Amino acid sequence: MMTLIARQRTDPEETRCRILEVAENFFRSIGYQKTSVADIASELGMSPANIYRFFPSKGAINECICGRIVKEVAEIAFAIARSSDPAPEKLTRLLTAIHEHNKATLIKEKRAHEMVAVAMQENWSTIKAHLEQMTTIIEGVIREGVAAGDFDVDDPAEAARSVKAAFVPFLHPLMIEHCLRFHDDTEERLREQLRFILRGLGKRS
Amino acid sequence: MMTLIARQRTDPEETRCRILEVAENFFRSIGYQKTSVADIASELGMSPANIYRFFPSKGAINECICGRIVKEVAEIAFAIARSSDPAPEKLTRLLTAIHEHNKATLIKEKRAHEMVAVAMQENWSTIKAHLEQMTTIIEGVIREGVAAGDFDVDDPAEAARSVKAAFVPFLHPLMIEHCLRFHDDTEERLREQLRFILRGLGKRS
């Protein structure tokens, strides 16, 4: 009877969201490894058993957080891909926006590295699906550019893979950090790389 | 008197080399963190104090090993840059050779990652100097290509930086591993990326 009343009082979806929010704060502040399900439960005034009703493990919580992070990135890319700019400008804006977003969310906080590393190990299918989605979005922009005569490319899917690979130092969380450390002039390097990529797509400057 | 005789019996340079060799084997097999100077000394039948006569710390040993590894890479690049091939072929061979070398020496052995990570943290100046040297070698090849009319590039130094950045997924030890994991077709991806880079340098196919 008690359980029934408690269940009616809080929306399960809301509880799930609160668990994810609190867990993400812990992962970003004290780190994924050092956070226990008991810490998350205690912060929410819940029992660990209650958390396990929503997520079977800490890994399952991290997978959800990881899924949310990559969904955010994909939405940024989609929004720019849907805009009406010419393809070269769109591609430049899209790559720059994701670089800025990853820098802000995955680099500033030192602990976020650990989340990325864990996701790479444990949620590879989420990351892989995300990378494929990003390549597809880029391919769409390249196709538009070819249709408009801005790009000269035989195989837009191949070109999209090459563009993504050529931009890895500015996209991959671990590489952005090395890049920021190696160069005082990351902004200028970013512009250089975007110019080089547009040339690789056959855009004459 | 004893010391004098002992010193005459072994060449200090030879001892240094043996220390580095044994240390590198330990770092590659049990890992950098788990290896102690005592382990290295014991394997050589020496006292730790004797090791410290040659290297002030384990970090200093790792710095030497790291320096040797990057020197090997630079020598491969130099040898190809000095050959008489046309610049586009030379650049393709050079980048492929370094990819293959890094894959063979830094990926196969799982512990080598830790060496790379430690080097990134503790011997950044060695790595930085190495990356600058590699960019200079690439710049030389690009200049030759421009002179021969194979490439169409305004700023060879900028182009060299862009080429290196565009090839990071195939050069950087941590990225090669991700790449091998993500793609079953790394060889085809490598060829695609090389084609894209040559197009970025203004080579018409």
Beta-carbon neighbour count of residue A128 at 10 Å?
13
**Summary mean pLDDT of chain A:** 88
Beta-carbon neighbour count of residue B125 at 10 Å?
9
| DSSP symbols for chain A | -HHHHHHHHS-HHHHHHHHHHHHHHHHHHT-TTT--HHHHHHHTT--HHHHHHH-SSHHHHHHHHHHHHHHHHHHHHHHHHHS-S-HHHHHHHHHHHHHHHHIIIIISSTTHHHHHHHHHHH-HHHHHHHHHHHHHHHHHHHHHHHHTTS---S-HHHHHHHHHHHTHHHHSHHHHHHHHHH-S-HHHHHHHHHHHHHHHTT---
How near does any CA of chain A get to the CA of B197, in Å? 7
Residue B154 is predicted with a pLDDT of: 94
| Gap between the Cα atoms of B39 and B90, Å rounded | 44
Name which of A130-144, A154-168, B20-34 the model is least confident about.
Answer: B20-34
Residues of A with CB under 8 A from a CB of B: 120, 124, 128, 131, 158-159, 161-163, 165-166, 168-170, 172, 174-175, 178, 181-182, 189, 192-193, 195-197, 199-200, 202
CA angle B1, B50, B41 (to 5 degrees): 135
Beta-carbon contacts below 8 Å between A and B: 69
pLDDT confidence of A2, banded at 50, 70, 90? very low
Tell me the per-residue pLDDT of B189-204, one tens digit each, with 9 for 90 and over: 999 999 999 999 997 5
Tell me the per-residue pLDDT of A81-117, one tens digit each, with 9 for 90 and over: 999 999 999 999 999 999 999 888 876 666 777 777 7
CB A156, CB A143: distance < 8 Å: yes
Residue A66 is predicted with a pLDDT of: 87
Tell me the per-residue pLDDT of A4-22, one tens digit each, with 9 for 90 and over: 444 455 788 899 999 999 9
Contacts of B200 in chain A (CB under 8 A): 166, 196-197, 199-200
User: What's the per-residue H, E or C state across A62-87?
Assistant: HHHHHHHHHHHHHHHHHHHHHCCCCH
B144-168 average pLDDT score: 96
Residues sharing a CB contact under 8 Å with residue A53, sequence separation 6 or more, in sequence order: none
Residue type, A80: I
Contacts of B158 in chain A (CB under 8 A): 192
| Gap between the Cα atoms of A71 and A20, Å rounded | 15
Contact between A161 and B189 using a beta-carbon 8 Å cutoff: yes
| Gap between the Cα atoms of A114 and A97, Å rounded | 23
Contact between B196 and A196 using a beta-carbon 8 Å cutoff: no
| Gap between the Cα atoms of B160 and B165, Å rounded | 9
Contact between B196 and A159 using a beta-carbon 8 Å cutoff: yes
How near does any CA of chain B get to the CA of A87, in Å? 17
Tell me the per-residue pLDDT of B76-124, one tens digit each, with 9 for 90 and over: 999 999 999 999 999 999 999 999 998 888 766 667 777 777 877 787 8
| Gap between the Cα atoms of B48 and B51, Å rounded | 5
Query: A205: closest CA among B9, B154, B90, B141?
Result: B154
CB B104, CB B130: distance < 8 Å: no
Contacts of B197 in chain A (CB under 8 A): 166, 200
Does residue B8 have a pLDDT over 80?
Answer: no
Candidates A159, A175, A189; nearest CB to B175:
A175
Phi-psi region for residue A118, left (φ > 0), alpha (ψ -120 to 50) or beta?
Answer: alpha
What domains are there in chain B, each with its CATH number? 2-56 (1.10.10.60), 59-200 (1.10.357.10)
B143-160 average pLDDT score: 96
Tell me the per-residue pLDDT of B41-80, one tens digit each, with 9 for 90 and over: 999 999 999 999 999 999 899 989 888 888 999 999 999 9
In the three-class reduction of DSSP (H, G, I as helix; E, B as strand; rest coil), residue B62 is classed as: helix
